[in-house]
Amino acid sequence: MTRASTASTPGISPLRRRPRTISKRNSWPLAHTERALLVGAQLKSAGSPRSLKASLSELAQLTDTAGAEVVASVSQRLDKRTPYYVGEGKLEELRDLKRELEADVVIFDDELSPTQQRNLEEKLGEKVIDRTALILDIFARHARTREGQLQVELAQHQYLLPRLAGQWSHLERLGGGIGTRGPGETQIETDRRLIRGRIKRLNNQIERVKRTRKLQRDRRQRSGLPVASLVGYTNAGKSTLFNTLSHAGVPSEDRLFATLDPITRKIRLPHGDEILITDTVGFINKLPPTVISAFHATLEFLQDADLLLHVVDASNPGSAGQVHVVEDTLRQLDLSDKPQLLVLNKMDLVSSNGVQTREIPSPHPAVQVSAVTGWNIEALVEQIQSVLVDRWAGRIV
């Protein structure tokens, strides 16, 4: 029973197999496009109906990126937390809706606790997924480099471990006896031990990759070139801007988390100075701590940046909230003190659709651009030059 529910969690590698094979077997799309029912809940004290709606529409985009079809979205504002994530009445409604719409999977817009997950599986049947598992599934599809793949696998195992532990303590609570002995019990213990061993090995492997990366960083530092790093909410246009600035052919897509692995290019500024520019994974609201910690090796290279170019999709109605999420994540990564420029991107959409530029509260200087049309890129480059070259000059003195 335990094995079945473990194996059904998308993006989570069943044990004792190589992750690549498994994630192919377990990730979307399956034989047919899966039909997904989305569920979002929010404590009334924790946010507005608008933020609940925005989060659910982001979940729909994530679901689409993962290759499933959204058949309905259900939301509820709650007075207090519940064992079923939503209230019991809503749960009945979900069960009926799932049957009626023939949904294959129910996706919840927050990380479910192991107990909530088990409770929901009991009520709704197989295939209950949370936001974290969905994000990990997308990451597993998009990781191209060895380091990216190792980090995704680490995050998946860290996500899985307490869930197995939860199932284990559930059996312990029954106090042994009929139905709790035998292969099931041994299996959970074995699984936990295997996962711990795998986590340890993954950490070692990541550590080795990190050491190689550090050598590259040292070499780069010796090259003495200043570094500008693109950061920002997923889909803000970082890779498009990277391409515009460096004439590289990095894939950019209207999809969340199109980029996962970091990339660096050298560019020459108009006055002849050379700098390095880097592109990396985007941030998202409710980015699970396991993902941030697993991606530490990738995100660590942001520490080397002399300037952060915080790219914002200015045409998005939720841009102010997205800026807030990015600033929060930068704080968690200890990067808030870095010099920063706010790059208000997609300005071509802002003017042509009559969308107003929104007030974005930020202490950093802002430049409006369009990475797609190239509009005002010179002004951005001027700003980059003035921050980086001044700093660089300051360094040699």
- Residues forming contacts to Mg ion in the complex (CB under 5 A) are 238-239, 258-259
User: Smallest Cα–Cα separation from 312: which of 280, 347, 281?
Assistant: 347
The residue (of 149 and 235) whose beta carbon lies closer to Mg ion is 235
Residue 377 touches which of Mg ion, ligand GTP, none (Cβ within 5-8 Å per kind) = none
Query: Taking the chain, what is the end-to-end CA distance rounded to the nearest angstrom?
Result: 67
| Among the listed residues 253, 274, 378, 390, the single contact to ligand GTP using CB under 6 A | 253
Q: Is position 65 an interface residue for ligand GTP (rule: CB under 6 A)?
A: no
| Among the listed residues 156, 252, 278, 298, the single contact to ligand GTP using CB under 6 A | 252
Q: What are residue 103's phi and psi, to 5 degrees?
A: -75, 140
Residue 116 touches which of Mg ion, ligand GTP, none (Cβ within 5-8 Å per kind) = none
- The C-alpha torsion from 228 through 230 and 231 to 236, rounded to 10°, is 150
Beta bridge partners of 361: none
Residues 324-353 that bind ligand GTP (CB under 6 A): 345-346, 348-349
Residues 181-240 that bind ligand GTP (CB under 6 A): 232, 234-240
Residue 292 touches which of Mg ion, ligand GTP, none (Cβ within 5-8 Å per kind) = none
Stretch that binds ligand GTP, among 30-38, 128-136, 210-218, 249-257 (CB under 6 A): 249-257
User: Closest-CB residue for Mg ion?
Assistant: 259
Quick check: 252 and 279 in contact, CB under 8 A? no
Residue 257 touches which of Mg ion, ligand GTP, none (Cβ within 5-8 Å per kind) = ligand GTP
CB of 298 to ligand GTP, least distance (A): 13
Identify the three-state secondary structure at position 192. Answer: helix
Count residues near ligand GTP (CB under 6 A): 23
Is the dihedral angle over the CA atoms 303, 304, 308, 312 positive or is it negative?
A: negative
Residue 151 touches which of ligand GTP, Mg ion, none (Cβ within 5-8 Å per kind) = none
CB of 278 to Mg ion, least distance (A): 12
Instruction: Round to whole Å and give the CA distance between 334 and 46.
Output: 25
Q: Could you give the count of Cα atoms lying within 13 Å of 47 in the half-sphere of its Cβ?
A: 14
Helices 131-142 & 49-65 angle (0-180, nearest 10): 40
Element (DSSP H or E) covering residue 387: helix 377-396
CB atoms within 10 A of CB 188: 21
The residue ranges that bind ligand GTP (CB under 6 A) are 232, 234-240, 252-254, 256-259, 282, 345-346, 348-349, 370-372
